[in-house]
């Protein structure tokens, strides 16, 4: 079974600074997607960024970028120029892409609460 681990229960950052959230995963599949989701307090979860495992280039979406290390099974999220609106719970998630037992469903980590200080 696939597992996703986020070892940082809480992180904090000053506004305009950079913060990195960590995620490791375990899988025997070779084709999969990795995601970072943001869940603001009392609001629904939204997708921040995704990475296809077959792509060596790290994904980037505006101020959000990832460091994908496939051999190490590591997938960290870097938030640059942090803003107050970035404060939320962040989840790392895994999804298989080629059949098998994980196809379709997301497997989430435990989450990291990010606090942004003005």
Partner 1 sequence: DTGVSQNPRHKITKRGQNVTFRCDPISEHNRLYWYRQTLGQGPEFLTYFQNEAQLEKSRLLSDRFSAERPKGSFSTLEIQRTEQGDSAMYLCASSFRRGSSYNEQFFGPGTRLTVL
Nearer to partner 1, 43 or 71 (CB): 43
Residue 43 touching partner 1 (CB under 8 A): yes
Cα separation values, 55 from 58, 86, 87, 104, Å: 8, 27, 29, 19
Q: Is 77 in the site for partner 1 (CB under 8 A)?
A: no
Q: How far is the CB of 104 from partner 1 (least distance, A)?
A: 6
Number of residues that bind partner 1 (CB under 8 A): 22
Smallest separation (angstroms) from partner 1 to the CB of 76 = 17
Q: Is 91 in the site for partner 1 (CB under 8 A)?
A: yes
Q: Count Cβ atoms within 10 A of the Cβ of residue 85 and give its class: 0-12 exposed, 13-18 middle, 19 or more buried.
A: exposed
State in angstroms the smallest separation of the CB of 105 from partner 1: 4
- How large is the C-alpha radius of gyration of the chain? 14
13-21, 55-63, 72-80, 108-116 -> range binding partner 1 (CB under 8 A): 108-116
Rounded to whole angstroms, the Cα distance separating 84 from 114 reads 10
- DSSP reduced 3-state for 85: helix
Closer residue to partner 1 (CB): 56 or 118: 56
């Amino acid at each position: 079974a696939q597992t996703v681990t986020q070892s940082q229960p809480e992180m904090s950052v000053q506004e305009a600074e950079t913060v990195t959230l960590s995620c490791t995963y375990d899988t025997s599949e070779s084709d999969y997607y990795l995601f970072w989701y943001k869940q603001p307090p009392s609001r629904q979860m939204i997708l921040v960024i995704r990475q296809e495992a077959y792509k060596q280039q790290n994904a980037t979406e505006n101020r959000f970028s990832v460091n994908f290390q496939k051999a190490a099974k590591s997938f960290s999220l870097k938030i640059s120029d942090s803003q107050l609106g970035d404060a939320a719970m962040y989840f790392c998630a895994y999804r298989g892409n080629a059949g098998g037992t994980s196809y379709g469903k997301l497997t989430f980590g435990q989450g990291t609460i990010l606090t942004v200080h003005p």
